C-alpha cells in the first residue's frame, strides 16, 4: 500500500462517526488474531455463563476493588 493510499484511507476514516470507527477498529483487530477457534469460543462462553450463575446464586466470592487491588499488589510485590 502506498503512502498516498494510506493517507486517503485515514481521511475517509476521519469522517466516520465514533461508533463506526470503533466498529472498524474492532474488525481490524479481530483480523489480526487469525482464524477463530469455535471450541475455544464456546468454552469461554460456557465459563462466562457459569461464573455469572455463581454470582447470581451467591456461590461466588466477590471482592471489592480495594481488596482485589491489595491482592494483586501482594502477588507482584
pLDDT in tens, 15-39: 999 999 999 999 999 899 888 899 9
Q: Is the overall model pTM greater than 0.75, yes or no? A: no
483487530: which residue's cell? 29
pLDDT at 34: 83
Written in H, E and C, the secondary structure of the chain is: CCHHHHHHHHHHHHCCCHHHHHHHHHHHHHHHCCCCCHHHHHHHHHHHHHHHHHHHHCCCCCCCHHHHHHHHHHHHC
Amino acid at each position: 500500500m502506498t503512502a498516498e493510499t494510506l493517507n486517503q484511507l485515514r481521511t475517509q476514516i476521519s469522517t466516520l462517526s465514533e461508533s463506526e470507527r470503533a466498529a472498524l477498529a474492532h474488525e481490524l483487530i479481530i483480523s489480526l488474531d487469525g482464524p477463530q477457534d469455535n471450541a475455544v469460543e464456546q468454552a469461554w462462553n460456557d465459563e462466562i455463563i457459569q461464573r455469572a450463575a455463581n454470582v447470581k446464586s451467591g456461590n461466588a466470592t466477590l471482592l471489592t476493588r480495594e481488596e482485589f487491588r491489595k491482592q494483586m499488589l501482594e502477588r507482584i510485590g
